[in-house]
Amino acid sequence: MRVEERLRALSDGFLAAAIALSVGQFGSSLSTRLLSPVVAVGELVVDLAPGSVVRTTIGTFGTMQKPLLLAGIVAVSLLLGALLSWRAPSRLPVALAAFGAVGGWAMARSPLTSAVTSWSLAVIMVGTGLVVVRRAPVSRSDDAVEGDTLEDPRIKYADRRGFLLYSGGLSATAVALVGAGRVISDRSAQEARSRFELPMTTTSPPETTSRPTSSIPPSTSPPAIPPTSDPPTTTTPPTTTAPPPSLPDIDGLDSWITPNADFYRIDTALTVPIVDPVGWSMRIEGLVEQPISLTLDDLLVLDMLDATITIACVSNTVGGSLVGNATWTGVLLTDVLDLAQPQEGAEQVMAWSVDGFSAGFPLETATDGRTALVAFGMNGEPLPLDHGFPVRLIVPGLYGYVSAVKWLSHLELTNFNRDGYWIDRGWSKDAPVKIASRIDVPPTRRVEAGTVPVAGVAWYPDIGVAAVEVSIDSGPWQPCQLGEAGASQGGRPAKTGESWVQWLYLWEATPGRHRIRVRAAGSDGTLQPGLPVAPAPNGAEGYHEISVTVA
């Protein structure tokens, strides 16, 4: 075969793969019961990968891994198409069919899809790919000579112009299909979300309180240490702080409530599951007297409440940002479970998402008085799509991977033998959120000498932070002022300690280079440990420390 033929065979394979993929991409946008073939294969890859690999790539999700994985799958598909066609053009149909089989299987096996529709889409993808190859422009161009052919002596390639038009047109079609699919799926996602209106709780809606959004409350705020709690019985009991001065907003301090758009996102979903709230219902099954299925309307007749709760990811490093504080609207998990009447032997709540993710935690955690929620609102809106629309779990005091299931599909009461998604991938079965504190201010590492606000957040859900201390250059630990802790409202008495607190230390900064460290004490007497510990398998430990140069 001449070089030119080879190149054209290569291009045929590439184009066939591109068209098949883009048809799949477009087709999948037409139904929420379909999944993009690329995403489906990505999920297959993640499922087949060893736990350790998933943990260090998808697991820590620097957020770039998912797009990289998907881009990799597209690149490999196109390259394989091109290479196979180059090596053996006559076998391109077989290769396409094999591709289709893998894609079809990957799409059909997802819990989100219907198998019949998935396989139909796969057949259409392969079919279009084949048409592309068969219809590649041929012409009896004048310079065509005997033997100037692929396997089939009747096929002669078109001239260069025809070829360029053909391949250019197909590439443009592929891009257009992907773009159109994108527009359609974005629109249907937004439509689904607009079909649920967040009802108001009986009390004031979140964020209409007088709480300043980015400053330590002035001296009129309640005492920093919750009055109901015992003072910490640590080796260095926090001393009472000076009366907090009225302060302007502190530049660079995270607002007490994390806005939805800034809230960290962690999940295994390569594409956000789109759930129609109208058709949605959750089953409660397993070790219960009365298995039931609840729609959103069924949930809404229960006592609703707003609760400000901090959730954190176990992968968060010391000083990291995989933690956020939101006012969640929902109903108590215990109220929901009561409807199904857990049996004597029920020890664990296993929660499942529509895309097959699972997490399990002790039933006792759901019933011990903390504000464990079946949540449908976040900061006064329906849950954002990324954060679990229409319904998710929020359990104060447990890391997200064992509790905070988004896109909830069902609950199952079990004994402790069942394990959630991350447990056999190397993370601990028991996963209480560890006490932690973070320095956010000063945001820059160069400041002027004088009084410099040092501030940040500290969390210990659901127990609560009683005190925060700062140490400059390994000097003595100095007490900080604390902002308010959250309190839930509506449906049940206020409970504090489930949200993080902001803290502030006014530092008399002298010229030179200084190290600042922070630590927190819990209202149960727990002192934040200073020895560094990595996030795996049950959460990072250690003091957050920054260096600042004072001019």
Ligand X SMILES: Nc1nc2c(c(=O)[nH]1)N[C@H]1C(S)=C(S)[C@@H](COP(=O)(O)O)O[C@H]1N2
Contact between 407 and ligand X by CB under 6 A: the answer reads yes
- The only residue of 401, 421, 507, 543 in contact with Mo ion, by rule CB under 5 A: 401
User: For Mo ion, which residue has the nearest CB?
Assistant: 313
Residue 55 binding target from Mo ion, ligand X, none, CB below 5 to 8 Å by type: none
Contact between 263 and ligand X by CB under 6 A: the answer reads yes
Q: Which residues of 47-78 are buried (b: 16+ CB within 10 A; e: fewer)?
A: eeeeeeebbebbbbbeeebbeebbeebbeebb
C-beta closer to Mo ion: residue 401 or 477:
401
Q: Edge-to-edge strands of the sheet including 512-522?
A: 446-447, 544-550, 512-522, 465-472, 478-479
User: For ligand X, which residue has the nearest CB?
Assistant: 400
C-beta closer to ligand X: residue 59 or 238:
59
- The only residue of 357, 376, 459, 500 in contact with ligand X, by rule CB under 6 A: 357
C-beta closer to Mo ion: residue 35 or 323:
323
Q: Please state the closest distance from residue 403 (CB atom) to ligand X, in A.
A: 7
- The only residue of 22, 113, 353, 471 in contact with ligand X, by rule CB under 6 A: 353
Residue 434 binding target from ligand X, Mo ion, none, CB below 5 to 8 Å by type: none
The tokens for 276 are 């129609």
d(CA 499, CA 457): 10
- The only residue of 307, 395, 405, 458 in contact with ligand X, by rule CB under 6 A: 405
Q: Which stretch binds Mo ion (CB under 5 A): 179-187, 378-386, 396-404, 460-468?
A: 396-404
Of 292-321, which residues contact Mo ion (CB under 5 A)?
A: 313
Q: Please state the closest distance from residue 17 (CB atom) to ligand X, in A.
A: 30
* 3 state DSSP class of 420: coil
C-alpha torsion sign, points 371, 373, 378, 380: negative
C-beta closer to ligand X: residue 15 or 359:
359
Contact between 400 and ligand X by CB under 6 A: the answer reads yes
Long-range contacts formed by 96-100: CB under 8 A, 24+ apart = 96/16, 96/17, 96/20, 96/126, 96/129, 96/130, 96/133, 97/126, 99/17, 99/20, 99/126, 99/129, 100/20, 100/125, 100/126, 100/129
Q: Please state the closest distance from residue 24 (CB atom) to Mo ion, in A.
A: 30
C-beta closer to Mo ion: residue 178 or 398:
398
Residue 268 binding target from Mo ion, ligand X, none, CB below 5 to 8 Å by type: ligand X
Cis peptide before 199 (omega within 30 of 0): no
- Widest CA span in the chain: 96
Can you spell out the DSSP letters for 339-380?
HH-B-TT--EEEEEETTS-EEEEEHHHHHSSS--EEEEEETT
Q: Please state the closest distance from residue 378 (CB atom) to ligand X, in A.
A: 8
Contact between 264 and ligand X by CB under 6 A: the answer reads yes
Contact between residue 427 and residue 537 where contact means Cβ atoms under 8 Å apart: yes
Letters for 276-315 (x = contact with ligand X by CB under 6 A, - = none) are: -------------------------------------x--
Please classify residue 171 by burial: count the beta carbons closer than 10 Å to its beta carbon, then call 0-12 exposed, 13-18 middle and 19+ buried.
Answer: middle
Number of residues that bind ligand X (CB under 6 A): 18
Q: Please state the closest distance from residue 269 (CB atom) to Mo ion, in A.
A: 13
Contact between 404 and ligand X by CB under 6 A: the answer reads yes
Residue 484 binding target from Mo ion, ligand X, none, CB below 5 to 8 Å by type: none
Q: Edge-to-edge strands of the sheet including 481-482?
A: 436-441, 450-459, 501-509, 481-482
Q: Which residues have C-beta within 8 Å of that of residue 196, sequence separation ≥ 6? A: 277, 296, 376, 382, 389, 390
Contact between 266 and Mo ion by CB under 5 A: the answer reads yes
Binding interface with ligand X (CB under 6 A): 263-269, 313, 353, 355, 357, 387, 400-401, 404-407
